[in-house]
């Protein structure tokens, strides 16, 4: 039996890279996973017929079993946001055929493919939770064949086996369900040799789950400056009555500006877009000549998505505004404190925006909640 190249080829898939850094699959760390799906091989009926004719037998019919269930178990290490090294064990399943002959007889054969693989995985971030990837590597497969004959068919070597290394390729997509758990879908091609020297390909289409070990540490935040305590100057000793105590001076009222997150960032993103840069440049220009005591940057999100995800997104947006003011307005980083507060302080009233699914209507209604507040305390 020969397992030859399966029909069809991989399509070329083009993806546009979004400005937002990818969340789960873009940071270094260990992970493990498991996939299961359908495997398929093309059985070379012409070769089987030719082999029987060489033995003086005519083939009257052939029934192929060219599909099976395959699975793989794997683990890997994410090197950086774009590359990972992954290895594991695979079982592509069992494939077979039955040929009927004249004079009367049958030839039955099947093969099973199992082995180990080591792949280099290239990752392409699409959104905060979604990514595409491609893989190329080496598969060390063991092929175990089994042949049997009845009637006029005589099999000389019923149980050949073989181990050999070949290449493998694949394409896939991954979606982050939580910070540690993701769902993956893949199409892979394994180049294999069966136990009687025939080369071919087996395709595996599978889905599975990936678990990342360990959480990602939160981004560092600039600490608020400690207040400086000034020692009061001693009063001179005079004979005259002491002067009246100084009246307390009210501290300057803080100036608070609220930016719409939709004007600064794309939806579900944290990189400042060009129109947002113009708004921040105008804000920085208005602050010229101000002696800053403190600038607080607070990121807010709407209530769509989970608390943990929104907290990370609001913090990244606050950090992005801080970084822009430091780099482009020359404001000292030590005077800016940035934080994210999820959707805990909404502008919209309870019951004003109904629904939980992220429809266009709900996203538009919750637009006031997506904002970045900048509060400045200082004097001119």
Q: Does 265 lie in the same domain as 182?
A: no
* Residue 161 belongs to a domain: yes
Burial call 179-192: b when 16+ CB within 10 Å, e when fewer = eeebebebbbbbbb
* Residue 303 belongs to a domain: yes
143: left (phi over 0), alpha (psi -120 to 50) or beta: beta
Q: How many domains are contained in the chain? A: 2
Q: How would you classify the pairing of strands 67-78 and 29-43? A: antiparallel
Walk along the chain (380 residues) and give the pLDDT tens digit of each residue: 333 333 333 333 333 333 333 333 346 899 999 999 999 998 888 888 888 888 889 999 999 999 999 999 999 999 998 999 999 999 999 998 899 999 999 999 899 999 999 999 999 999 989 999 999 999 999 999 999 999 889 888 899 998 999 999 999 999 999 989 999 999 999 998 877 666 789 999 999 999 999 754 444 455 556 655 565 556 665 566 777 777 665 555 567 787 887 787 877 788 888 888 888 888 888 877 777 678 888 888 888 888 888 888 888 988 988 898 888 878 888 888 989 887 778 888 888 888 878 888 888 888 887 888 888 887 65
CATH number at residue 22: 2.40.160.20
Q: Which domain holds residue 260?
A: 255-379
* Residue 238 belongs to a domain: no
Type and span of the H or E element at 140: strand 130-151
CATH number at residue 270: 3.30.1330.60
Q: Does 206 lie in the same domain as 96?
A: yes
The answer to whether the beta carbons of residues 25 and 63 sit under 8 Å apart is: no
* Residue 296 belongs to a domain: yes
Q: Does 201 lie in the same domain as 339?
A: no
Q: Does 287 lie in the same domain as 189?
A: no
- Please give the backbone phi and psi of residue 13, each rounded to the nearest 5 degrees, phi first: -115, 125
Q: Identify the domain boundary among 151, 177, 212.
A: 212
* Residue 206 belongs to a domain: yes
Q: Does 261 lie in the same domain as 205?
A: no
- Is the overall model pTM greater than 0.85, yes or no? no
Q: Does 361 lie in the same domain as 268?
A: yes
CA proximity to 103, closest of 44, 63, 45, 154: 154
* Residue 228 belongs to a domain: no
Q: Does 195 lie in the same domain as 98?
A: yes
* Residue 117 belongs to a domain: yes
Q: What is the rounded distance in angstroms from the CA atom of residue 228 to the CA atom of residue 208?
A: 57
Q: Does 81 lie in the same domain as 206?
A: yes
């Amino acid at each position: 039996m020969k397992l030859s190249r399966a029909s069809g080829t991989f399509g070329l898939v083009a993806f546009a890279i979004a400005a937002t850094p990818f969340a789960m699959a873009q940071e270094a760390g260990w992970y493990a996973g498991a996939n299961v799906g359908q495997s398929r091989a093309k059985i070379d009926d012409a070769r089987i017929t030719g082999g029987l004719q060489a033995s003086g037998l005519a083939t009257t019919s052939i029934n192929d079993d060219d599909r099976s269930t395959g699975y793989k178990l794997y683990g890997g290490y994410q090197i950086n946001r774009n590359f990972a090294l992954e290895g594991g064990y695979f079982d592509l399943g069992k494939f077979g055929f039955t040929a009927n002959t004249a004079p009367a007889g049958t030839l039955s054969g099947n093969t099973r493919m199992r082995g180990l693989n080591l792949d280099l995985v290239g990752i392409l971030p699409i959104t905060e939770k979604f990514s595409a990837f491609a893989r190329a590597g080496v598969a060390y497969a063991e092929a175990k064949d089994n042949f049997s004959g009845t009637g006029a068919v005589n099999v000389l070597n019923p149980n050949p086996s073989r181990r050999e290394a070949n290449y493998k390729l694949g394409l896939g997509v991954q979606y982050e369900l939580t910070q540690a758990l993701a769902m993956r879908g893949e199409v892979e091609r394994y180049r294999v040799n069966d136990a009687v020297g025939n080369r071919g390909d087996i395709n595996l289409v599978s889905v599975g789950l990936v678990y990342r070990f360990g959480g990602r540490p939160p981004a560092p935040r600039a600490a608020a400056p400690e207040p400086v305590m000034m020692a009061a100057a001693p009063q001179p000793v005079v004979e005259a009555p002491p002067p009246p105590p100084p009246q307390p001076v009210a501290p300057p009222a803080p100036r608070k500006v609220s930016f719409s997150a939709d004007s600064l960032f794309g939806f579900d993103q944290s990189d400042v877009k060009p129109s947002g840069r113009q708004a921040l440049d105008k804000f920085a220009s208005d602050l010229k000549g101000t002696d800053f005591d403190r600038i607080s940057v607070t990121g807010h999100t709407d209530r769509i998505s989970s608390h943990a995800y929104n907290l990370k997104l609001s913090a990244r947006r606050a950090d992005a505004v801080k970084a822009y003011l430091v780099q482009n307005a020359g404001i000292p980083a030590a005077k800016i404190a940035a934080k994210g507060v999820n959707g805990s302080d909404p502008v919209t009233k309870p019951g004003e925006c109904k629904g939980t699914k992220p429809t266009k209507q709900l996203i538009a209604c919750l637009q006031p909640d997506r904002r970045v507040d900048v509060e400045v305390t200082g004097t001119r």
